[in-house]
Amino acid sequence: MKITWLGHSAVKIEASKTIYIDPFLTGNPAASMGPEEATEADLVIVTHDHGDHLGDAFPICKQTGATLVSIHEVAVKAEAEGIPTEGMNIGGTIESHGVRIHMVQAVHSAESGDPSGVVVEVDGKSLYHAGDTALTYDMKLVGEFFSPDLSFIPIGDRYTMGIDSATKAVEFCRTKKVIPIHFDTFPIVMADPEAFKSKVGDMAEVIILKPGEFFIL
Ligand code: NI
Ligand code: MN
């Protein structure tokens, strides 16, 4: 499957289904594409409703017919706009379009409901998107249950983990590969992904992308 980092926490997963997670494109200085280029999607997953994550999720769902997957309170708002939704909550698992989504703990804040992370199982691979979060022991449960093939981990500090915590998160969630996210979008979340890579060492393969670059998993 093709994994494209769109900048910030926005990722596109092209497998048997097309999935966007946290598609913050409009107003994102690092965005590698505009929302109008998202012409095909099956699922749009939102970890929490801060603007840099909810982003263009609703418009993309409207133009593609994709189902929005999010915490209940955000799903209710989407449903009110006529968007097909799968509301859920932390600890829950759903299956939509043949894709399994597990909602997991994130230690952060949100406007509506609680913030979350997600583990997505598609085409026999498991992908963990941590959302915005502090380091938490709950990540050990992600490791025990999924040992993800690939994780998206924030390293930009201030609003999320910085490099030291993110390195511990890689250990806790036992991910095989990791793509650092949520850094360099704005001056207040600058981080050096190479420093993260050297700290992680041989615990996991760190894949450093530039916005718009992809990785084949
Ligand atoms: Ni946030
Ligand atoms: Mn954020």
Q: Separation of 58 CA from ligand 1 center, angstroms?
A: 17
Scanning the structure block, which residue is given the tokens 């250990």? 171
Q: Ligand 1 (ion): which residues have CB within 5 A?
A: 50, 132
User: What span, in angstroms and rounded, lies between the C-alpha atoms of 116 and 206?
Assistant: 23
Q: What would the mean pLDDT of 186-195 be, rounded to a whole number?
A: 97
Is 25 a domain residue?
A: yes
This prediction has a pTM of 0.98
Question: Measured in angstroms, how far is the CA atom of residue 160 from the centroid of ligand 1?
Answer: 8
151 domain residue, yes or no: yes
Tell me the two tokens of residue 63. 């133009």
109 alpha carbon, closest ligand: 1
Q: Can you tell me the mean pLDDT for 74-103?
A: 98
Nearest ligand for residue 9 CA? 2
Residue 130 has a pLDDT of: 99
Which one of the ligands is nearest to 110 CA?
A: 1
Number of folded domains in the chain? Answer: 1
Measured in Å, residue 199 CA sits from the centre of ligand 1 at 25
Ligand 2 is an ion; residues with CB less than 5 A from it: 52, 132
Q: Do the Cβ atoms of 4 and 49 come closer than 8 Å?
A: no
Maximum separation of any 2 CA atoms in the chain, in Å = 47
Is 215 part of a structural domain of the chain? no
Q: What's residue 82's pLDDT?
A: 98
Centre of ligand 1 to C-alpha 76, Å, is 19
CATH number at residue 22: 3.60.15.10
Closest ligand by atom to 10 CA = 2
Distance 52 CA to ligand 2 centre (A): 5
CB 178 within 8 A of CB 150: yes
Query: Could you tell me if residue 159 is inside a domain?
Result: yes
Question: What distance in angstroms lies between residue 165's CA and the mean position of ligand 2's atoms?
Answer: 16
Residue 181 covered by a domain: yes
160 CA distance to ligand 2 middle (Å): 7
Residue 216 in domain: no
**How far, in Å, from the CA of 49 to the mean position of ligand 1?**
7
Tell me the average pLDDT of the chain: 98
**How far apart are the CA of 196 and the centre of ligand 2, in A?**
19
Residue 70 maps to a domain: yes
Would you place residue 11 in the very low, low, confident or very high pLDDT band (cuts 50, 70, 90)? very high
- For residue 190, the enclosing domain spans 2-210
110 Cα to the center of ligand 1, angstroms = 7
Q: Is residue 143 part of a domain?
A: yes
Q: Exposed, middle or buried by CB within 10 Å (0-12, 13-18, 19+), for 16?
A: exposed
pLDDT digits (tens, 9 = 90+) for 108-145: 999 999 999 999 999 999 999 999 999 999 999 999 99
